[in-house]
Amino acid sequence: MSDLMHQDRIRDIVRGAYRTIPSGAGEVTASRLYRPEELAEVPDLAIAWSLGVGNPVRHADLVEGEVVIDLGCGGGIDTILAARRVGPPGRVLAVDTLPEMCERTERAAAEAGVADRVEVVHAEMEDLPVLDDTVDVVISNGVINLSPRKSRALAEASRVLRPGGRFCVSDLTVDDDLPPQVLTSGAAWAGCIAGALSEEVFTTKLTNVGFTDIHLGEHIPFSVDDAALYPLFTDEVIALMRELVPPEQQASIATSLIARARLPEAA
C-alpha cells in the first residue's frame, strides 16, 4: 500500500497527525484496552496519550531484569507498564520519532516513579541507535503499521534482540484493501489502517528477518465505529469509510491482534 504515497510524505503525515491530537484523547481507548488495575499503575498523562490498538505488555511475559524496547512509545503507557514488570534491575528503551512524545514519556515515567529504569530515545524505528544483541524483548502498540518501510523496521527489531529474544506487538491487519480514496488519506495512515498488512504478509516479513515460533493471536474485529473513537481519524475519513466501504464490511475493516515471535537461541 505504501506505493500509493511516497515514504517521506507518509512520515510527514503521521508526524503531523500526532502533533495535532488534543490532550486527553486517549482516555476512551485506554479504558477499552487496559484493565482497571493496569490503568492504576500509570499516571493520567500516559492514559491521556494512549492511542494503541491492543495491550502488548500483558502478553509479553516480561520478567524482572529484562531489557525491553518499546517502539513508538507515545505517551508512555506501555513503557511504564513494562518498567514495572522488569523492576529496578531491568531497563526499558522508549523510542519515538516525535520529540513531543519522548518528552511526555519522560514526564510520565518520572511521575510513575520508574524514571530510573526508563531511557527515552528520539529515533526512527527503521534506524535504531541501539547495539546488536542487547535487548530481551521488543514491544510496540499500533506503530509498526505506521512505518513506510516495515521490513526495515522488523529487521531492526531482529538486529537489536539477543538470541532467543522475544517480539510481542499489538497492531492491525487487513484482509481486503480499503478503497483508494481511504488508502491515500493521511488520517487513515496515521490511524494504522492504510498501512496495515495482511496476516500472511506480516508472517512472511517476520520470517524473512529471522523470527521463528510466530503466532498471531487475540483477533478482535476493528470497525469503522472503533476507528471513530481515535482522534487520528478525522471526521472526513470516517465519513468516507461509511460511504465507500460496503455496510456488511464496516463491522470489521481490520483486525486487532497480538503478534508474538522469537529469535532462535544461539548455536
What's the whole-number mean pLDDT along residues 83-96?
97
* Whole-number percent of the chain with pLDDT over 90: 61
* Residue length of the chain: 267
**Is position 267 within any domain?**
no
Q: Is residue 130 in some structural domain?
A: yes
* Structural domains of the chain, count: 1
pLDDT at position 1, please?
38
- pLDDT higher at 8 or 126: 126
Overall average pLDDT of the 238-246 stretch: 87
CATH code, domain with 15: 3.40.50.150
| pLDDT, the chain, mean | 87
Tens of pLDDT, residue by residue over 155-183, are: 999 999 999 999 999 999 887 667 666 76
Range of the domain at 231: 2-262
Q: Which amino acid is at 66?
A: E
Does some domain include residue 25? yes
Does the pLDDT at position 39 exceed 90?
Answer: yes
Print the SS3 string covering the chain.
CHHHCCHHHHHHHHHHHHHCCCCCCCHHHHHHHCCHHHHCCCCHHHHHCCCCCCCHHHHCCCCCCCEEEEECCCCCHHHHHHHHHHCCCCEEEEEECCHHHHHHHHHHHHHHCCHHHEEEEECECCECCCCCCCEEEEEEECCHHHCCCHHHHHHHHHHHEEEEEEEEEEEEECCCCCCHHHHCCHHHHHCCCCCCECHHHHHHHHHHCCCEEEEEEEEEEECHHHHCCCCCCCHHHHHHHHHHCCHHHCCCCEEEEEEEEECCCCC
Residue 195: the pLDDT is: 64
pLDDT attached to residue 245: 87
**Mind listing the pLDDT tens digit for each residue in 46-63?**
999 898 999 999 999 999
Q: Report pTM.
A: 0.89
State how beta strands 67-71 and 91-96 pair: parallel
Q: Per the domain annotation, does 153 fall within a domain? A: yes
As a whole number, mean pLDDT of residues 91-109 equals 95
Query: Residue 121: pLDDT above 50?
Result: yes
Residue pair 137/66 in contact by the 8 Å Cβ criterion:
yes
Evaluate whether residue 247 is within a structural domain.
Answer: yes
Q: Has residue 94 got a pLDDT over 60?
A: yes
Residue type for position 11? R
pLDDT for 135 beyond 70 = yes
Query: Does some domain include residue 14?
Result: yes
